[in-house]
Structure 1
Amino acid sequence: MGSISWIGFKNVGRAECLDILGMTPAAGPADRARFSLAELPTGWTVLVSQDFAFASEKRLQRLSAGRTVVGLQASETVMCATATLFDDGRMVWRVDYDCEVGHPEIAGCPPAEYEAIFERLIAEQEASDITDSEVDIIFEAPIELALAVTGFRHDAAEFDWGQPDFHPLDAPAGPRPGGLFARLFGRKG
């Protein structure tokens, strides 16, 4: 898988998400797009990005103004994952796992499902045949928590409710690199 991030918007439809994000529909297959969006029957609309940093806390805080959002960042390369929920501009909870640290770091109060998820993953890790650090099953804790909240997991092909219908998106054109003087004088920042 590598690295990925996604943002779920609670009770926000596709058209409103596009407006909030400043993105437009694009052509081509969704699985190859930098950004793709799907409305889920769970009441969440999910934006998936191939950019690990896209679901940053700063972006989640901004996007949560007047709504609830969940963000997930996951990297199998370095075995780290973070799930965060913001509601109306404030962080409600965050569960962060980095295999270098070896245990989840929690901020706020995650939902009740978290404790059962964590206990199950600890039991799976202890019961596994893996004697060294080949696979760290606890890495799944933030990913499983985001699934419990939204009904979506980025690496699942199908769910109880079916398959998500993702559509590719084009991001808005951002400012060119460098400041005003760099643009005026042709220097790159």
Structure 2
Amino acid sequence: MPATADATRQAQWLAGRVLTHALLGEMPAQPAELVVQNDATGRPWLDGASPHQLTLSLSHSGLWVAAVLAHGARAGVDVEMIRDKAQRLASKFLSPAEWEQAQAVMQQNSELATAHYTRLWSAKETLYKLAAQRGIIFKTQLLLSSFAPAESGEIPATLILDGAETRHCICYSQPSAGYVLTYSHESSS
């Protein structure tokens, strides 16, 4: 944790570690001593576990912290406060097809727009974390298929890396008023 982080960021950072250790305590067979570390990009990983054994993804926003542990597979999680920022920046991270679909949702019910754009941003963040690679272009490499927005559901997604396309399912929900949670993990088989 950077020494310059404010009290809120420090609390979120600590809560992420506490949540991770609580999840590890729920595992039937715990690996040896594991410590949450961050790589040079800030991505969390478990020191003491091989990347092929156990993968960790963390997220925090406002009062919420989320974590996903995956055995032998990549994983991604994101939690976001619902706010208009995602809607204002949507043209920078949505593909033309995604933009068109989001506009259609907004025309159907403008009250859902802020939550929907936040959900789209969160889904792309989850896919980015699943990719575990820097330099990804959200508009062209992290693609979301159309879906019927609801309080919870699934978003079909495509990740394009090194010319290869992989399909993923991003689960989403609103765990409490004012927040969106998205997550995805690969099968370990």
Which structure has the higher relative contact order (CA within 8 Å, separation 6+)?
Answer: 1
- In the superposition, the TM-score normalised over structure 1's length comes to 0.30
- In the superposition, the TM-score normalised over structure 2's length comes to 0.30
Higher helix share: 2
